[in-house]
Structure 1
Amino acid sequence: MEQQHWLAICPRGIAPLLVEELEALGAEDAREQGSAVSFRGARSVFYRACLWSRLANRVLLPLGDFPAADGDTLYASLRSIDWPRLLAPGASIAVDFHGQNGAIRHSRFGAQRSKDAVVDSCREAGLARPSVDLERPDLRISVQLRRDQVAVALDLTGGSLHQRGYRERSGAAPLKENLAAAVLLRAGWPAMVARGGALIDPMCGAGTLLIEGALMALDRAPGLERRHWGFAGWRGHDEAQWRAVLGDARLRAEHAARGPAPEIRGYDADPRVVRIAQEAAASLGLGKVIRVSCKALAEVKRPTHRPLPEGVVVCNPPYGERLGDRESLPYLYGRLGQVLHDEFTGWQAAVLTGDRELGRAMGLRSHQQYALYNGALPVTLLLFELVPDNRWNAGAALQTAVPSAPAPSAPAGETTLGEGAAMFANRVRKNEKRLRSWRRREGINAYRVYDADMPEYAVAVDCYGDRVQVAEYAAPKGVDPAAAARRLDDVRAALPGALAVPPEQISYKTRQRQRGSEQYRRQGRSGEFFPVREGPASLLVNLQDYLDTGLFLDHRPLRLRIGAEAKGRDFLNLFCYTGTATVHAALGGARSTTSIDLSNTYLGWLRRNLAENGLAEGRHRLLRADVRAWLADAEAAWDLILLDPPSFSNSAAMDGSFDLQRDHRALVAGALACLRPGGVLYFSNNLRRFRLDPALADLPGCEDITAATIDPDFARRPRVHHCFRFQKPAGER
């Protein structure tokens, strides 16, 4: 067959790559035409393009441009085409009509007139009337109307080429296969394969990037698994030549399979999509090449079983359009940047994002950016060289290490402190030194360094990384307000030197009882959330905008205990607050978590905390509900439960008021009913004069563990909270 003019359609932004791909397949005169590439080549080139193109959506045989001012002109134009020469005998057809003008206003009308022209042309030539099959025709005819002209072509691929045939299921917001291939080509994956490098996707979803990477590495034609081709109804189809092209592709795949396979690994925190990825890889016989496992982003490490000095980390994180929570995504991207920086030095990285601001949240310099489209959604591909100094924004780095506290020394001018302020400063220094080795050992940089140790200085001083918050206890009525103000001035003067912290990094609040929605009400608009470290978890706090910081420091031992006991268990967090216990349970290997709170503010905070730790919401359910009402209909479905209610609440969103001492018996009973046999409930609260109902205290498996949940920084206040452990007997239902 002599050379023919062909047209390959592709997603926007991919045409330059498609030109190179088609030329490598033998195409001549390949030229970009918007979201398409025109080229010339023999029929064998067309067959190779169909079978081997990783980037094209369709390959068309253009028949020409024709006038179409109205329906009659459209009909006449299509009648002028020699359809009997193009349609194989008995072939079914379908017409894809797109566009409109003043006379042709509906695509259905245009498709009908076009179909009539084809059918009448065949009937006039004495051929059987072609049947119409809109779902899977033998030959698809493309008619594109622009103003008063139509471009007519045969769509010979039989459906988009991005549908490789291996995907039966996908996760939410799936990445199209040809876009995944473009990402890998831009990331230099083929050259990396030649050097023996690895491919890792730390947020792999349904595994599209991994599978496309494996097909490239193993020289597998992406069209090998397709079972239907659109050229079956084309009279110009040469079955013998097609079989030869297909056979050559199979030989290449068999040859490559006998050689070494690259290291290709994927991880995702959602077990459902991990199973989908594993099934897709297995359907291609790649189950041993592509290894996918369930792992949170924060847990992803560079493989160590064999030397891997270089490779490509590639991923398609949520954009915030269909997946994820918009406010939490910067923390997820920040965690991604941290993992890339800490674990994959010397590698390359490619990240596809729908928002460049999210890309900047990674805190890494991108040396190359490409504008692409995932369907109709504009996206940006960011390429990174993961060299040690690639950290353009130190403020974006997560504070994952416990900073070594500088030995506080008296700054110039501190000798002018008054006697009381100097005593206060010395006590703070002494406490900080006493706690230093403990917090380093435990991996903690959020802790209480002073808690009204000296009665005349009735404040609590909490350190959050390199920030400090001072909470002034409301003075009793008998205390002179002027004297209290002078003592607070002493605190302000003493703390910067005592803790070696600039004054602007110290915030001050007055402690008071919080009722109703007061604890949720926003106090400021800084919007500044920053991470602190607590064992394996990175937890977000906000020192300016709310009465609470988002982290109750005294409950730290209980959170760590929950993390240690959560592996393989279903965890329920009632009155979850900002979800810090949920994060510990998830990082501890919980099979699932369910977190319930009445505050949208706190649930949003929890979403940020999950993202901060690289934890997807797939197996972590968040529910906005009144816990008491929710428990009335709940079933025994959890192995581990935390019940940490407020002391009092009269929120407008709940029925009636809640008083912990009055109502806790029914609340605990409802939580116990949610436990599976052998399950554990932790009941904790901060009501100072709380007394556990005798009926609960007498239950088998009830234990007061308050003393075991007090860390050294709260040793002065052993009753800062109350904590009880209930274990349901193994045989009880």
Structure 2
Amino acid sequence: MAELNFFVTCPKGIEYLLADELKEFGMEPFRNAPAGVWASGTLEAGYRACLWSRLANRVILHLADVSATTGDELYQGVQDINWQDHLAVSGTFKVSFSGQNEAIRNTQFGAQRVKDGIVDRLRTGDGRRPSVNPKDPDVTISARLHRGTLAVGIDLSGDSLHKRGYRTEQGAAPLKENLAAALLIRAGWPELAAQGGDFIDPMCGSGTLLIEAAMMALDLAPGRKREGFGFQRWLGHQPDLWLALRQEAERRAHEGRQGQCPRIAGYDQDHNVIATAARNVQRAGLEGVVHVECRELDRFALEGDWAVQGLVLTNPPYGERLSDRKQLGTLYHRLGEVVRENLTGWRLGVFTGVPEFGKSLGLRSYKQYRLFNGKLPAQLLLFNVDKDSEVAPKEIGEPSEVMPRIANPERAAMLANRLKKNMKTLGQWARKQGIGCYRVYDADMPEYALAIDIYEGRIHVQEYAAPKTVDARSARERLAEALAVIPDALQMDRAVMVCKQRQRQTGTSQYEKQGTSGEFFNVHEHGCVLKVNLRDYLDTGLFLDHRPVRHWIQRHARGKRFLNLFCYTGAASVHAAVGGATRSLSLDMSKTYVNWARENLALNGASPRYHQVEQADCLAWLEARPKAGEVFDLIFMDPPTFSNSARMEGVLDVQRDHGRMIEQAMARLSSEGLLIFSNNFRRFKLDESLAEMFQVEEVSPSTIDRDFQRNPKIHRCWHIRHRG
């Protein structure tokens, strides 16, 4: 049987589990993608994935990669595919289109061009052609656009494979079936069931975990009760092969029921939800296998003959509003008490969007998996219920990490619309300027006091500390809303978003590490390469608002000697070196930033012989007598507003000290040279006496780039020269 390529989609975070599962069907995975796996295999393997995959959403038979830098190019590439092998002239189809690029800006236009290419390929001389049927097509065409390439395929699944056919109604916050299956696999249920273990969900909702656990234990194919699949009217369909696989699934189901069946039980305090769960169990054909009962967590107790080992797996409420979250600590604490009292020797799995409350269980987690429940990030926490794992339960107040959730959809939609609009206009501008990092939102809406920056495919969110007049709960609720909206509005993965709170930094705190991820990566700005880190420090290593100043330095540095005082990570020195400065000296008192600046210069090929970085207290260095020949043609000085670092001999207050620092810097400036002085102290006033000694020109407006025009006071900047 011929080898084919497939793209099998799944919920985010379970790609590796899916790859392992596909191997069981005879496929050979060759690349994982976000929310999917590329694999090769026979048509039989593709059919097996449709029938047996517990994790997949869709199985797409890949036909071709089409160049799609323009709409016409896309159309021609689609038309060149041999559609007569897949769809009859009298047949029907629909196009499922995703993605966009510069030429194809919306999915409706992209789908239309794909449709035109298919129809024109199959149109007969007498005008007959296939028609579009969005509700019940013979074939669904999958078209996925990424940058300049369109992946075209046949969706063999029909409806998403997570729809097993047993759940036609659901509780208030249901888990999708394939996510439930992933949780069971991560928690080790298949192995526990094979060893004779039992299963309990004490907060079972509509029963999805229970039913998926039973189907695994009994070897029931997830697609066994589905009404149909997307390949059944496809011209390439092989009915005999499919019939044989269906018969095999029925035989395995019969054999599974003959073996030892584990006890599987679920409880919930909501009568209506339990009634829904009972009907779902009945539709799944699992009456007598899965027991559901209305019972509060406080009344939980094992009754009858249960195994000495098993799995408790549950998905407690998240607390959709921050006002509900104070009750969660009590709920998690009681859950921990229940399992410790009744289920010693078992394993506990808790799937939660508020993982901090896991500390209230009184057990030490031995494994944590990061997953998504729909679009919300969540974690699966795993515990052994035994004495060795017991710890003192912690009372959790306000959580340290805000989890994304939407309390006010209308308000959240306004933020999403603003972000989309900003991203469209500023993204185009940044690409044309050769800028990889830029601000896309700066407290545009008073309800969302955030600065949101793009760092070449990553998102950096800074929450401005709310004034004391703003209710803390309201501020957290709006931040949670923003975090839920931002990734989708900016069309980026939630995993690439980092959120911090900005507060006034004093002393050494401005230099201390905030984390230990070590996640450095390179970004680009006007032809320069710069190293940044979004997670580990208060700042990222690159002050975006000073981009025009750095670019000015780059364009005026040729043949000049450059001095960078308070150099931070040396970005301005990089621009000077790339711009042709003959030599440069960069000074900072932080060893971390000195090493960072050296690495930035090395990334751009700057010779350490001519472009030096030294660890020094800039105040003390300026106070010292200049060395012979220590003269510079271009000096950049951007001091912090305040610093009392232990490494400094004194205390720096930019308002008090700037006059003296500027005089000392000018003593090192050549007669025709220029000092660029800048700072970001909002109430700063330049010492009037400086204008009597030097030629002083404020250039602040010209140093505010397009992405910072909403915040023109983010810094102030002066050009200072010797008087002729």
- Structure number with greater CO (CA < 8 Å, separation at least 6) is 1
Deviations 1:476-496 (A, max 9, x none): xxxxxxxxxxxxxxxxxxxxx
Task: Tell me how far 1:138 sits from its aligned partner.
Answer: 1.8
Task: Tell me how far 1:325 sits from its aligned partner.
Answer: 1.8
Partner of 2:562: none
Partner of 1:301: 301
1:322/1:126 CA distance change after superposition, 3 Å: farther
Structure 1 position 197 matched with structure 2 position 178:
no
Structure 1 position 365 matched with structure 2 position 352:
no
Deviations 1:300-328 (A, max 9, x none): 1233x114211100000111237992221
1:238/1:292 CA distance change after superposition, 3 Å: same
Deviations 1:343-380 (A, max 9, x none): 11100011100122122222221100101111111110
State the percentage of identical aligned residues.
48
Task: Tell me how far 1:198 sits from its aligned partner.
Answer: 0.5
- Range moving further from structure 2, 353-362 or 260-269: 353-362
Asked whether the 8 Å contact 1:349–1:383 carries over to 2, the reply is yes
Amino acid at match of 2:352: T
Residues 567-582 of structure 1 correspond to what in structure 2 (within 5 A)?
A: none
Amino acid at match of 1:134: P
Amino acid at match of 1:342: E
Amino acid at match of 1:352: F
Task: Tell me how far 1:128 sits from its aligned partner.
Answer: 4.0
Partner of 2:222: 222
Equivalent-residue separation in structure 1 for 2:128 and 2:207 (angstroms): 46
Asked whether the 8 Å contact 1:314–1:351 carries over to 2, the reply is yes
Task: Tell me how far 1:131 sits from its aligned partner.
Answer: 2.0
Amino acid at match of 1:76: Q
1:111/1:338 CA distance change after superposition, 3 Å: same
Deviations 1:214-260 (A, max 9, x none): 00011100000111211123221100100000110001001111223
Residues 400-549 of structure 1 correspond to what in structure 2 (within 5 A)?
A: none
Partner of 2:177: 177
Equivalent-residue separation in structure 2 for 1:153 and 1:124 (angstroms): 23
SS of equivalent residue, structure 2 residue 377? strand
**Structure with the greater alpha carbon radius of gyration:** 1
Equivalent-residue separation in structure 2 for 1:112 and 1:394 (angstroms): 58
Equivalent-residue separation in structure 2 for 1:169 and 1:151 (angstroms): 34
Asked whether the 8 Å contact 2:263–2:306 carries over to 1, the reply is no
Structure 1 position 270 matched with structure 2 position 270:
yes
Equivalent-residue separation in structure 2 for 1:10 and 1:395 (angstroms): 35
Q: Give the aligned CA root-mean-square deviation in angstroms.
A: 2.0
Equivalent-residue separation in structure 2 for 1:176 and 1:206 (angstroms): 11
Asked whether the 8 Å contact 1:22–1:30 carries over to 2, the reply is no
Partner of 2:315: 316
Count of paired positions: 397
Deviations 1:196-229 (A, max 9, x none): 1100000000000000000001110000011121
Amino acid at match of 1:376: K
Amino acid at match of 2:180: A
Asked whether the 8 Å contact 2:308–2:346 carries over to 1, the reply is yes
SS of equivalent residue, structure 1 residue 326? helix
SS of equivalent residue, structure 1 residue 178? helix
1:310/1:105 CA distance change after superposition, 3 Å: same
SS of equivalent residue, structure 2 residue 231? helix
SS of equivalent residue, structure 1 residue 117? helix
Asked whether the 8 Å contact 1:88–1:233 carries over to 2, the reply is no
Equivalent-residue separation in structure 1 for 2:276 and 2:128 (angstroms): 45
Amino acid at match of 1:174: P
Partner of 2:337: 338
Task: Tell me how far 1:48 sits from its aligned partner.
Answer: 0.7
Deviations 1:630-661 (A, max 9, x none): xxxxxxxxxxxxxxxxxxxxxxxxxxxxxxxx
Deviations 1:550-596 (A, max 9, x none): xxxxxxxxxxxxxxxxxxxxxxxxxxxxxxxxxxxxxxxxxxxxxxx
Asked whether the 8 Å contact 1:173–1:323 carries over to 2, the reply is no
Equivalent-residue separation in structure 1 for 2:125 and 2:223 (angstroms): 36
Partner of 1:386: 385
Partner of 1:529: none
SS of equivalent residue, structure 1 residue 328? helix
SS of equivalent residue, structure 1 residue 185? helix
Partner of 1:117: 117
Amino acid at match of 1:143: A
Partner of 1:244: 244
Partner of 1:233: 233
Partner of 2:292: 292
Q: Which runs of 5+ in 2 are unaligned?
A: 397-472, 474-724
Task: Tell me how far 1:38 sits from its aligned partner.
Answer: 1.6
Partner of 2:39: 39
Equivalent-residue separation in structure 1 for 2:146 and 2:140 (angstroms): 19
Partner of 1:577: none
Normalising by the residue count of structure 2, what TM-score does the alignment of the two structures yield? 0.53
Asked whether the 8 Å contact 1:61–1:153 carries over to 2, the reply is yes
Asked whether the 8 Å contact 1:312–1:347 carries over to 2, the reply is yes
Equivalent-residue separation in structure 1 for 2:42 and 2:274 (angstroms): 42
Equivalent-residue separation in structure 2 for 1:206 and 1:108 (angstroms): 36
Equivalent-residue separation in structure 2 for 1:98 and 1:79 (angstroms): 19
SS of equivalent residue, structure 1 residue 210? helix
Asked whether the 8 Å contact 1:197–1:309 carries over to 2, the reply is yes
Task: Tell me how far 1:101 sits from its aligned partner.
Answer: 2.1
Asked whether the 8 Å contact 1:210–1:290 carries over to 2, the reply is yes
Partner of 2:519: none
1:105/1:359 CA distance change after superposition, 3 Å: same
Amino acid at match of 1:68: A
Equivalent-residue separation in structure 2 for 1:201 and 1:257 (angstroms): 22
Normalising by the residue count of structure 1, what TM-score does the alignment of the two structures yield? 0.52
Amino acid at match of 1:260: Q
Q: Which runs of 5+ in 1 are unaligned?
A: 398-524, 526-733
Partner of 1:700: none
Partner of 1:354: 353
SS of equivalent residue, structure 1 residue 309? coil
Amino acid at match of 2:301: K
